Amino acid sequence: MTTLKLISVGNSTGVVLPKELLSRLRVEKGDALYVVETPTGIELSAYDPEFDRQMEMAESIMRQDRDVLKKLGS
């Protein structure tokens, strides 16, 4: 288990993430992290669940309209 420290950042509060955790998340300074509330608590991830939902919708549309997309691509 890793303990994170809260610090003051202007009028806000920030969290200090150790290098090891940044490495495991595969993120670096300037990258976005997403916070998802789960039944067991809060999940911090570099993975954007909204983007995944949009990609699933796009893939579904592409499967359904494969013939139309082929004609448009010609």
Does the predicted TM-score (pTM) go above 0.85?
no
- The H-assigned helical ranges of the chain are 19-25, 49-64, 66-73
In this prediction, residue 41 has a pLDDT band, given cuts at 50, 70 and 90, of: very high
State which fold the 5-73 domain adopts: Pemi-like Protein 1; Chain: D (2.10.260)
Question: What is the structure's pLDDT at 12?
Answer: 96
Q: What is the pLDDT of residue 59?
A: 83
Residues 6+ apart with CB under 8 A from 14: 6, 7, 8
* Tens-place pLDDT, residues 14-27: 999 999 989 988 99
